[in-house]
Structure 1
């Protein structure tokens, strides 16, 4: 495994020549397909998504590699070891944005999509299958809209279109998400367990020790509390992509849990309705996490959708 910095403006990645060592964490998956006769990309590893999304990705990414992808994972700006962006966001800014009051964000979902394209450029990859979870799904949708020739297939997971009437958070979550916590690692772990208990899958509960490990790994990777608020502002101020999604010709998969309290199932339904020919996987009892029992379903659905990109049009 070798590691090299990209640039001050690009997320930190590590690049390996072994598909089985595929990237483990991150906001989105860029999945160059080993079955396609195009330049092959090496996998990256050790990104970090929003707080605590660690354990599930570690187990799932090698399965994607086993399905024929090199998996590129990376730290979005303001997470893990990536660049910390300027711009102060106060909690009252987040509340105003949550309520729909016009509020300026330090950066946008489109800026985060540009980061992903910058990473592909750095790695010399013209196009990839793109999968994104939650905010990563918003980034992946934006990539497909802004540069459809570079997105071979799209998997939008636990995400939404940006329309304010769909895909909203349960109002009861807001105090938990923006709560002030102490500065220590243990404070962060305690808060992380609280968040994941609030948004996790009721049908696939995870034990507290696993949640604690997930939160601890995220803390050790690198946490920016200010960065979390900046990312929340990017999500809360995103545009409605419904009309642009209706123009997509990219093979699209929409996956969502019927018990998701962070991004309501209406966001997944709206995404599927907007994109012509979108395939849908909705799962009862799945919340806003990545339960291990669903890994085979995730991988199979992403593989089948990617294969649609290579299939002749009917």
Structure 2
């Protein structure tokens, strides 16, 4: 178990990462710890990395960095509109032009490491963040000490599919205003969350209220979504990844079917696959210790401990 020692937490800071983009980030723990970069998923801010989980990771010996991807939270929000018809065509497999790619998002993360003066880091990503983390390990493996891909997939269309009831809700117009956002998000979170570990309603409400208050950008979510659905299949390139790799996936995930996690683990030589019964598409508090122990175990593989 992690110790109960106090953990230093920075204020929210900003890093220029090139191409006119700034990322908002925050750190947990001592700078003397092993750098650990947390990469969040589609449309989600860094605050969805629960502060308790970040603190536990810091107590496990990591210097934790969480950040908002571009088009999320307090990071740079780009211009340009993605139509619903473009998204539907992209989901159907039609080639469309995306404003940016997962490679661009990976480059943002490398830019954050540069800003922090870090040559490399352990990289942990969830959902779209897992895709970004995989892309980082493929593109610049010397900067990725270990890779943890959680509830993600390889980009191959025949694995990691969504439950068909989710897409219409994802691209449907939302009513304006804070309360409508919170109410709608709570409905969607109940559809995609972990049936064995339901998030308490008051905690869920606070999470979405904080998300709204830090900045919600529907057009940014659409741009990120197009980057996801237009991604290439990384399967062949993942065969060349040699950094210690952990793949975590819930057996009850309705957003990214567990086949995506299985395919990721099968593609990376020596990857550990951790399947969790009753886990959906979230990071339930009762599983935090499991996540911390698994990430710590994977990091130790990188140093030969």
Alignment TM-score, normalising by the size of structure 1? 0.88
Tell me by how many angstroms 1:44 deviates.
Answer: 9.2
Q: Is the 8 A contact 1:156 1:255 kept in 2?
A: yes
Runs of 4 or more above 3 Å deviation: 1-5, 51-56
Q: Determine the structure 2 residue equivalent to 1:6.
A: 15
What 5-or-longer segments of structure 2 have no aligned partner? 1-9
- Secondary structure of 2:63 counterpart: coil
Given the alignment of the two structures, is residue 181 of structure 1 paired with residue 174 of structure 2, yes or no?
A: yes
Distance in 1, Cα, partners of 2:12 & 2:255: 34
Given the alignment of the two structures, is residue 305 of structure 1 paired with residue 298 of structure 2, yes or no?
A: yes
Q: Determine the structure 2 residue equivalent to 1:201.
A: 194
Distance change >3 Å, CA 292–CA 150, structure 1 → 2: same
Higher mean C-alpha deviation, range 143-152 or range 50-59:
50-59
Give deviations 1:119-144, integer Å, cap 9, x for gaps.
11111110110000000000000000
Q: Determine the structure 2 residue equivalent to 1:102.
A: 95
Tell me by how many angstroms 1:208 deviates.
Answer: 2.3
Count of residues in Structure 1 that have an aligned counterpart in Structure 2: 292
The equivalences for 1:64-103 within 5 A come to 64-103=57-96
Distance change >3 Å, CA 203–CA 33, structure 1 → 2: farther
Alignment TM-score, normalising by the size of structure 2? 0.90
Distance in 1, Cα, partners of 2:75 & 2:154: 26
Q: Is the 8 A contact 1:129 1:154 kept in 2?
A: yes
Give deviations 1:92-144, integer Å, cap 9, x for gaps.
11111111111111110000000000011111110110000000000000000
Distance in 2, Cα, partners of 1:48 & 1:263: 12
- Secondary structure of 1:71 counterpart: strand
Give deviations 1:32-73, integer Å, cap 9, x for gaps.
8726xxxxx6x899x896347746522211110010000011
The equivalences for 1:48-197 within 5 A come to 50-51=43-44, 54=47, 57-197=50-190
Distance in 2, Cα, partners of 1:281 & 1:4: 33
Give deviations 1:164-191, integer Å, cap 9, x for gaps.
1111111110111122111100010011
Distance change >3 Å, CA 131–CA 44, structure 1 → 2: closer
Give deviations 1:238-267, integer Å, cap 9, x for gaps.
000000000111100000000001111000
